[in-house]
Homo-oligomer: A and B are copies of this chain.
């Protein structure tokens, strides 16, 4: 078994994909109720569940630790939070959804008239049934999110506000899983773990990264594969600050997020835009019926940090329809039902296909470069001449034609329009027949 064989098996075995898709969706469902933020017990609980699938190294970074231009913030935890009417009835209740509380709200216990309260309430007037997701990490504030219909239903009068949170010195939590390869060259897959009860953003990324590790861990690899489960921005920055020794070994990086739906696969390029991971991802997406490859922009997820000019790391991002481009984004509609198992399964397949390319992309030298070697004699060519050439023959001819020792399999794939696995198999056949040699 190899990464190539794993990718081939996953690509062709529909039942395997269905099983893995179901398992990933179960994981999403299990993690959904937990209230995550950039620090706190919600992240720890999440990593604990992922740790059941995959051995994780969990790191704690103390509050106040300087991280480049930033500082690890106080740890935030929530015991309870609600708005109650005069009758003591909870009209907005954190226990119903972690989205109801603005993330990082400071502790409050007060009574306010509705008009005073309104300044702390966030709704989506154009989507009156949905609760928005809001944060206030770096400005001390508190607030509640609710649907416009909930707000409209509030009668004038006084309301009890309870934000029973703690915002104290503690630590930020992240985890990584390192799967050593034959070489210390690394492929890093990173996903953010700081979003509360939102399913595709980003329990989908967590599920795909976790199952990627689960499938890969028993397969020999050329590259070391490192999976990161980090809170957004400050978490990836903390990881970067603690792994200066690893950074020079990173050959390819990928942020995974938003993979449960909706829409087709979307790849966002690295800042430089023509890195090996970019070319590989473009090729893989085409074979997943998507040409939606986008140039880098400095807004988005942790690719912002990895690609910043000081690090300049080759991190692309795989998602489906990106943040902000679908109506359910950062609302209570991004729930467990919004995420579809088969979409998770396909996304994991795309990541495996990408690893297949990154692992197997090497150059060969045609050992019989003067004219075409006689494939027929070696049982590699049909014996009766007819119209056209079969795909497997074309893959061999392309490889022989371009294999001067400098052209990689991916370049052959790009130029020929054939899929990487077909060329990888052609290389294997020609290698077995002694017609090509790896460089």
Contact = CB atoms under 8 A, between A and B. Distances in A.
B308 A401 contact: yes
Interface of A: 67-70, 102-103, 132, 134-139, 141, 143, 233, 236-237, 240, 271, 295-299, 304-305, 307-311, 323-324, 329-330, 366, 368-374, 376-377, 383-389, 394, 397-398, 400-404, 415-416
B138 A377 contact: yes
Given A383-B138, A384-B134, A368 B68 contact: yes
A139 B379 CA distance: 11
Contacts of A324: 387-388
A20 B71 CA distance: 53
Nearest to A307: B401
Given A70-B374, A233-B372, A385 B309 contact: no
Nearest to A435: B69
15 contacts: A69-B371, A69-B373, A70-B374, A137-B385, A233-B372, A240-B371, A296-B401, A297-B398, A298-B372, A305-B371, A308-B369, A308-B370, A308-B372, A310-B370, A311-B371
Contacts of A372: 69, 233, 298, 304-305, 308
Nearest to A405: B309
Contact of A135 (B102, B329, B385, B394): B385
Main secondary structure of the interface of A (DSSP, over half): loop
Nearest to A136: B384
A108 B24 CA distance: 65
Contacts of A370: 68-69, 237, 240, 308, 310-311
A383 B139 contact: yes
B68 A385 contact: no
A233 to B, nearest CB: 7
A298 B383 CA distance: 18
